[in-house]
Amino acid sequence: MPPSTEPIFWQFSLSAVNAIIWVAILLVAMWMGLRMKWSRLVAITAFITLDLIAFGAFVRLTDSGLGCPDWPGCYGKFLPTQAVTDINQAIAEQGGTHGPVSHGKAWIEMLHRYVASFIGALILVMFVRAVIAKFKPERNMFSGSRTDVGAAWPLLLLIVVSLQGLFGKWTVTLKLMPIIVTTHLLGGMTLFALLIWFWMRERDRAGDVRATPVQVPSRTCVWVWFAIFVLYLQIFLGGWVSTNYAVLACADFPTCNGTMFPATAWSDAFTFVRELGKNPDGTYLSADALRTIHWAHRIGAIVVTIVIVIAAMSLMKADAALKRHAIHIKIALTLQILIGISTVLFDQPILVATAHNFFAAVLLATLVIAAYRSRTS
């Protein structure tokens, strides 16, 4: 079947047999999680989440978001190979593989869902382990693990990853609505940031001096947290550019199509409740609106660069233990800027654009680590 022409708010397409297969595989993943040390479990989950953030960009850049137009299965099946007939029919009805459905796009989309499910299973393991340890603190049920981590953080992670799963579903069933896809990106970044904080906390509790908080002036903490805030706004703007396909609305750099004062349409550009490529009244989004979306991201890049540089310099002055980490922040920021410029200059090559998402998450992680280690007296 081809993708439905109408958005669907709720859908669960897997048959009972295919759902059982999926759950059985996730149970294996959960068993693996039960055997790990806490710090290793959190670190692996954070690393896979970072990879999934980058792979999510790859899904969008290859137009694979509707490669399987139902959820969570692919035409109700666990594997695209089980849905060959349906995919072939959709390809025929859309007039070729240039449309939203193809065998390659189906696999890309489903791989994204498999990895997301794996992350959810690992976080569920964290919560189960924390709850068991709360009621049976005298018994260490898991090899080499701490039993006193508390349930609050695993519960928060479980809530966030569950919401992330819902937005992943709505990304498909609401036909790539830009505000849904952008929120899905922010949710992935938030989950990653929380995992980094939780990982730092476990390293700190284990006595790792590289995770130990240090006393810094209050203004340093303010700058670091403000940098995280403006970076989140910039990630939103970047997601808004990507989900509205506005990356090449300005085809040169540093100007926008040869001018520093491009024609703009701010109200149309930042109307959030609408379909992909359209205004709320059903008319198509103008070139001026797409240009505005892109230009806003460039303006945001200037602001976020200034704030992060100030935060990094404040860290360097605050304490010698944070000086090296401040350098890491500057390196991540520099790479992110260069990759962003390359995305425009080289007409959005997929690997470069995917790296832009990856290093946005890396930059966020460096700031979260700085925020954890910065404590006021």
Q: Which contiguous run of DSSP H or E holds residue 326? A: helix 323-345
Q: Per-residue pLDDT averaged across 11-21, rounded?
A: 89
Q: How many CA atoms lie within 13 A of 30 on its CB side?
A: 16
Q: Per-residue pLDDT averaged across 303-325, rounded?
A: 95
Q: Per-residue pLDDT averaged across 212-225, rounded?
A: 95
- pLDDT surpasses 60 at 12: yes
Q: Which contiguous run of DSSP H or E holds residue 215? A: strand 214-215
Identify the weakest region by mean pLDDT among 36-40, 261-265, 331-335, 358-362.
Answer: 36-40
For residue 135, what pLDDT band results from cuts at 50, 70 and 90?
A: confident
Identify the weakest region by mean pLDDT among 9-23, 52-66, 214-228, 272-286.
Answer: 9-23
Query: Taking all residues of the chain, what is their mean pLDDT, rounded to a whole number?
Result: 92
Give per-residue pLDDT as tens, 272-287: 999 999 999 999 999 9
- pLDDT surpasses 80 at 6: no
- pLDDT surpasses 50 at 1: no
Identify the weakest region by mean pLDDT among 261-270, 325-334, 343-352.
Answer: 343-352
Task: Check if the beta carbon of residue 159 is closer than 8 Å to that of residue 127.
Answer: no
- Residue 259 DSSP symbol: B
Give per-residue pLDDT as tens, 22-41: 999 999 888 888 888 888 99
- What pLDDT, on a 0 to 100 scale, did the predictor assign at position 148? 66
Q: Higher-confidence residue: 129 or 135?
A: 129
Q: Per-residue pLDDT averaged across 333-360, rounded?
A: 93
Q: How large a percentage of the chain has pLDDT more than 70? A: 95
Which residues, in sequence order, are CB contacts of 22 under 8 Å at separation 6+? 14, 72, 78, 117
Domain boundaries defined on the chain:
1-211, 213-377
**């696999």: which residue's tokens?**
107
Task: Check if the beta carbon of residue 101 is closer than 8 Å to that of residue 91.
Answer: yes
Active-site annotation, residues: 109
Q: Per-residue pLDDT averaged across 252-256, rounded?
A: 94
- What pLDDT, on a 0 to 100 scale, did the predictor assign at position 143? 45
- What pLDDT, on a 0 to 100 scale, did the predictor assign at position 39? 86
Give per-residue pLDDT as tens, 83-101: 999 999 999 999 999 899 9
Q: Per-residue pLDDT averaged across 249-267, rounded?
A: 95
- pLDDT surpasses 90 at 176: yes
Smallest CA-to-CA distance from 195 within 52, 328, 319 is with 52
- What pLDDT, on a 0 to 100 scale, did the predictor assign at position 23? 92
- What pLDDT, on a 0 to 100 scale, did the predictor assign at position 15? 87
Q: Rounded to whole angstroms, how far apart are CA atoms 219 and 311? A: 9
For residue 137, what pLDDT band results from cuts at 50, 70 and 90?
A: low
For residue 150, what pLDDT band results from cuts at 50, 70 and 90?
A: confident
- Token couple for 245: 């396909």
